[in-house]
Structure 1
Amino acid sequence: MSVSSDVVQNYNFNIVATGSDSGHITHSAGVVFNSTFDFAINNNSAPETVTAGQTASYNLDVKPLGNGSTFPARVTLACSGLPVLSTCSFTPGSVGSGSGDSNVVVNIKTTAAIPASAQTMGSFKYAFAVSLVLLGFGGMKRAPRGKLLGVLFVVLMVVGLENGCGGGSSGGGGGGGAGQPGTPAGNYTITATATSGSLTHSVQVNLTVN
């Protein structure tokens, strides 16, 4: 004999057996049956391909098993196996207790590389802005023209030395003057894990970064 139930609860019942002889002797035995909670998590999205700097999104289904079942405890979500320089977030961030079948979106945000030339231009723009501020402030104070030009010269010299030292350091590192690296290109398998109470289930999503 097998017993199953879609409802999470405890059952107490008797199994009764009656003989087929003329006496129709009957015996019974008490049975206690516990139906426990479980849930499933599924990936409803195809593999994603993105360029470094973009975000990949996947639709996950987090579902309590059994007809009419709900989660007795909050479901927390986490990622593992992420590429370098990438982050993972969920919408919603968790599934509340008492919830039924729920859709969760996992977002994997990658990082774009920043060329060294872009960093140098950023430093130049910063120096130019600082110089204008200093010149304007000096003009308000009616400082001598020679003093203002001296301030501008010092600022530009500092920026030039900073860029020069930065370039030399990158070159000494084996041709590493590529600015800020981004998420490396490649194929990745990322695991999304859902935990409710003492139960944990996981599902994998596939990501390609170009």
Structure 2
Amino acid sequence: MNGQIKSTQSKLKDVNKLLKLDPGNTELLAQKHKLLAEAVGETKEKLATLKTAAEQANTALANGEISQEQYDALQREIVETEQDLKNLETQANQSATAVQKIATAGEKLKTTGDNISSAGQKLLPVTAGVTALGTASVTTAANFESSMSQVQATMGITKDSMPKVNGQSVNTMDTLSKLAKEMGVETAFSASECAEALNYLALVGYDTQQI
């Protein structure tokens, strides 16, 4: 069991290392979420086994079959495994949030261009397992302005940035703000939620034209 956990953690470490170089890579994000789910499952299984062993150890200690030192070591491993599980579940929740938001952005905003749906399509199979794991937790944006400020920060642009969209020079923030408000009217999401979705498209690497 420890061998399985060690193998999963090694893969997760490699993925996290690559994500530092390419944080918007949807393939890596999908792999990370899958590995976290596996790690949570494996650690839960280990904890259940340890607790069963602890019940047996109580009798073994009373009968003098194991030493107090061995019994104490088992109890410490149970506590350590509980802490590992809690940490993994926290990471899995954070991963689930990011995965679902990117998938939602790709699917719900596909009316603005077929190529933006790729992020959603790639991660939809992953999101199917999120609900089953009970780890999904998607929060709404605090407000529209702060969400749009985050979009600007993610894209690394100034307020007066003027890229070309459909052959015409436009102000990025004005254009994207208008888009988020229009989608707020046309979809079941609020303008702030649409602005947050734009941020995840920006995080994946889309420019103003693609968004």
Report the TM-score, using the length of structure 2 for normalisation: 0.27
TM-score normalized by the length of structure 1: 0.27
**Higher share in helix:** 2
Task: Tell me: higher relative CO, structure 1 or 2? Use CA pairs within 8 A at least 6 residues apart.
Answer: 1
Bigger fraction of residues in strand: 1
Larger radius of gyration: 1
